[in-house]
Amino acid sequence: MLRVRRTDPETSVEAAESVQDKIRESQAAVLLVMHTFYPEGCTDTELIIMYRMQSVRMVIPRQSESGIRTRRKELVERGLVEDTGKRDVLASGRKSIIWKVSHD
């Protein structure tokens, strides 16, 4: 969705369109952690644990647990991350989706 007004000049519309497909640094960091450490997929819980460990070692932005989950959801919506169709059982006994980086 473009964030411009009908009254904005054409250059504003063009600028908005040019950044529409780019991902933010926080999204790129989540994608990097998933791609590097979980090529076969991971649960949100695994992603959060690894992301936090790597935020100390790598130059990636710090994010809250809910922020990491939100970034993963945004990446799913963009088609960059997908549901593997597999599920893992968490310590709580609940099932969790295993997500992986899309390779289309």
For 91, half-sphere exposure in the C-beta direction (CA atoms, 13 angstrom radius) is: 2
**Inside any domain, residue 67:** yes
- pTM for this predicted structure: 0.78
> Could you tell me the residue range of the domain that residue 70 belongs to?
22-101
Mean pLDDT by 10 residues, the chain (104 residues): 52 51 90 95 97 87 96 96 97 96 84
In the chain, the number of structural domains is 1
- The continuous run of DSSP H or E covering 95 comes out as strand 95-101
Sign of CA dihedral 22, 28, 30, 33: positive
Look at residue 12 in the predicted model and tell me its pLDDT.
47
Q: Which residues pair with 87 in a beta bridge?
A: 97
The string of DSSP letters for 29-82 reads HHHHHHHHH-TT-B-HHHHHHHHHHHHHHSS-----HHHHHHHHHHHHHTTSEE
Look at residue 2 in the predicted model and tell me its pLDDT.
39
CATH number at residue 51: 1.10.10.10
**Inside any domain, residue 43:** yes
